[in-house]
Structure 1
């Protein structure tokens, strides 16, 4: 019995040039998807992840200043 790779090679060798050309974009997509899956780091399932909290926070919540923001922008003509 052959390996999947050998079987795939045999099937491709049996294709006409037109059929191979039609199949090529789909094979490229499958290859990219397989590479993307293998490049992803396996999830440890731990929370929070190691990168969590690795950047500085944002300015204070804008909702605290919504009245000031709206009053400053109200009546301003749209650009």
Structure 2
């Protein structure tokens, strides 16, 4: 019995060039997802992180003024 890596190599080697080209984007995505899981393991850190709240905002009442801000911005064209 082969290891999963050996089996994967054998499967890839058996693909046509066209099939390999179709599979490549999906494999890249799987690799990125695996790397993200390894870099940011769930449940292993403390909350809030050390950097949380490390900067000071410019306005403290933005959530209270959300409707007013949205009304003022609606209809403004892109500049």
Q: TM-score, normalised by structure 2?
A: 0.60
* Aligned equivalents of 1:52, 1:28: Cα separation in 2: 32
Note the 1:1-79 alignment, pairs <5 A: 1-44=1-44, 46-61=46-61, 63=64
If each structure's helix is expressed as a fraction of its own residues, which one has the higher value?
1
Gaps spanning 5+ residues in structure 2: where? 66-71
Q: 1:10 to 1:58 in 2, by over 3 A?
A: same
* Aligned equivalents of 1:46, 1:39: Cα separation in 2: 15
Q: 1:56 to 1:17 in 2, by over 3 A?
A: same
Gaps spanning 5+ residues in structure 1: where? 65-72
Corresponding pairs, count: 67
Give the alignment's Cα RMSD to 1 decimal.
2.8
Q: TM-score, normalised by structure 1?
A: 0.60
Runs (4 or more) in structure 1 with deviation over 4 Å come to none
